[in-house]
Amino acid sequence: MSDKTAAPAHVAASKGLQNVVIGQSKLSLVNGTEGKLIYAGYKIEDLAEHATFEEVIYLLWQGKLPNRWQLTMLTKALQGEAALPAEIISLMKQLPKAAHPMSVLRTMVSALSLYDPKADVNTPAENQRKAILLTAKVPTIAAAWERIRNGLDPIPPHPDLGISANFLYMLKGTQPGPEEVAVMDAYNVLLSEHGMNASTFAARVTTSTLSDMYSAITTAIGTLKGAAHGGANEEAMKMFFEIGEADRVEEWFVDNVKTGKRRIMGMGHRVYKALDPRAAVLKTKSRHMAEATGNLRWYDLASKLDKHARADEEFIKKNLYANVDYYSAIALYTLGIPLDTFTPLFAIARIPGWTAHIMEQWADNRLIRPDVDYVGPMDLEWVDIDQRD
Ligand code: ACO
């Protein structure tokens, strides 16, 4: 007979939940040993080369690539949702100008829910509507904040542009050229989904409590913000600036990395023990862009540091390679994106993946609630407050 009072057998603790599988997903496969990434059956390299961001959004939400009519309908739906409620813009105007754009984005996504009467209706149809709304409005928030903090009025979204072109238009006030749009689109495609990363996991945990999509995306944005995750793109660029010149790479590496004082931001990954396939594509794209602008200073510095690190025996032993944030920092800088807006751009790209996971979680939900081994004291005697040390 089984003992119903006995504690269930525990799975051994794994610090950082490394190698713990939390369930199944049809969205993406991250093969860290071979450095491969697949979205719903398609190689990331093919998607970055051929697909628009909107096509990949459809793929993530519907599990297949859209035909022309389906793509047109989705694009129109996204364009129709890109404008912000006037209340959101006036709220943004009251925020401290020095606020970090990721903090603003986190706050405004939460605020958006207050202007959605069906924010807490979690049916598949309402969740799909909210996924479109958030994917469309997050780029508008990020661009509007750049204008507002500089004392300018936000530029309303262009009714005919796709997400990548529209973001650059709302940020800078002029329509971007086709090369800029292509890089922005490839960036968005490459970063739109990535298995059970920390921010996606956070979004799933929030969803598993039966909380709404705005809450889950707010959670995800707060998680992406950290320097060990999406915040690494901004930190990588700051590190390149600090090094300053390609000639200083060796000295900086010895003084900072070899002494154990610093990590190279944009290198290392929990899953990839080979080159992150997104980094490979972004390396090529950032080089082409730098060549086109005639300013190779930061690309040269980054690739020299990359080469130097890859030749280091500790980096070889620990399988440390550039991750997605390393060369994306160069690409975004060359596109003229302000440094502290790099991570909001990551969020713009990842909203489709997060929302796809949220919808997948709703389709087969169970509360995500792990356990922890208690290692504190036991059997202490109660001490009256006047008798305590
Ligand atoms: N530079 C130097 N050494 C590193 C780096 C790095 N960037 N990353 C890891 N290491 C070393 C660690 O010091 C550790 O060495 P040790 O075993 O001698 O102590 C070993 O590699 C393993 O590192 P962990 O921190 O245990 O690896 P973990 O899987 O927990 O962390 C992480 C992964 C957080 C990404 C880490 O590599 C890191 O801090 N990288 C820099 C920040 C970064 O680029 N983050 C973005 C990741 S991609 C993304 O989220 C979109």
Whole-angstrom distance, CA of residue 258 vs CA of residue 318: 14
Q: Is 112 exposed, middle or buried (0-12, 13-18, 19+ CB in 10 A)?
A: buried
User: What is the secondary structure of 91-134 as a DSSP string?
Assistant: HHHTS-TTS-HHHHHHHHHHHHGGG-TTTT--SHHHHHHHHHHH
* Ligand 1 environment, Cβ below 6 A: 16, 197, 228-230, 232, 257, 263-270, 318, 320, 323-325
- CATH 1.10.10.10, applies to 28-173+196-222+347-363: no
- Average pLDDT of every residue of the chain: 96
Q: Which residue has the tokens 């200073």?
A: 297
Domain ranges in the chain?
A: 28-173+196-222+347-363, 232-334
Mutate to test the pocket of ligand 1, among 256, 267, 272 (most ligand atoms within 8 A of CB): 267
pLDDT of residue 160: 96
- Decide if pLDDT at 67 tops 90: yes
Whole-angstrom distance, CA of residue 105 vs CA of residue 263: 27
CA triple 256-261-267, angle to 5 deg? 70
- Which amino acid type is present at position 117? P
More confident residue, 13 or 65: 65
Enumerate the H helices of the chain as residue ranges.
44-50, 53-62, 68-80, 86-93, 101-112, 124-149, 163-172, 178-191, 198-208, 213-224, 232-243, 249-252, 277-293, 297-310, 313-317, 324-334, 342-363
Task: From residue 310, give the alpha-carbon distance in Å to each of 34, 280, 287, 319.
Answer: 17, 14, 19, 9
Mean pLDDT, residues 170-199: 96
Mutate to test the pocket of ligand 1, among 224, 273, 318 (most ligand atoms within 8 A of CB): 318
Distance 375 CA to ligand 1 centre (A): 27
pLDDT category of residue 8 using cuts at 50, 70 and 90: low
Distance 268 CA to ligand 1 centre (A): 5
Which atom in ligand 1 lies closest to the alpha carbon of residue 18? 29
Question: Can you give the pTM of this predicted structure?
Answer: 0.96
Hey, is 252 helix, strand or coil? helix
pLDDT of residue 1: 47
pLDDT of residue 10: 74
pLDDT of residue 4: 56
Query: How many CB atoms sit inside 10 A of residue 132's CB?
Result: 19
201-234 pLDDT per residue, tens: 999 999 999 999 999 999 999 999 999 999 999 9
- Decide if pLDDT at 13 tops 90: no
Closest CA to 107 of 118, 120, 117, 94: 94
The CATH fold assigned to 232-334 is Cytochrome p450-Terp; domain 2 (1.10.230)
Closest CA to 78 of 188, 204, 200: 188
334-369 pLDDT per residue, tens: 999 999 999 999 999 999 999 999 999 999 999 999
pLDDT of residue 3: 57
Positions annotated as catalytic residues are 269, 325
Whole-angstrom distance, CA of residue 243 vs CA of residue 6: 58
Closest CA to 340 of 219, 190, 224, 238: 238
232-247 pLDDT per residue, tens: 999 999 999 999 999 9
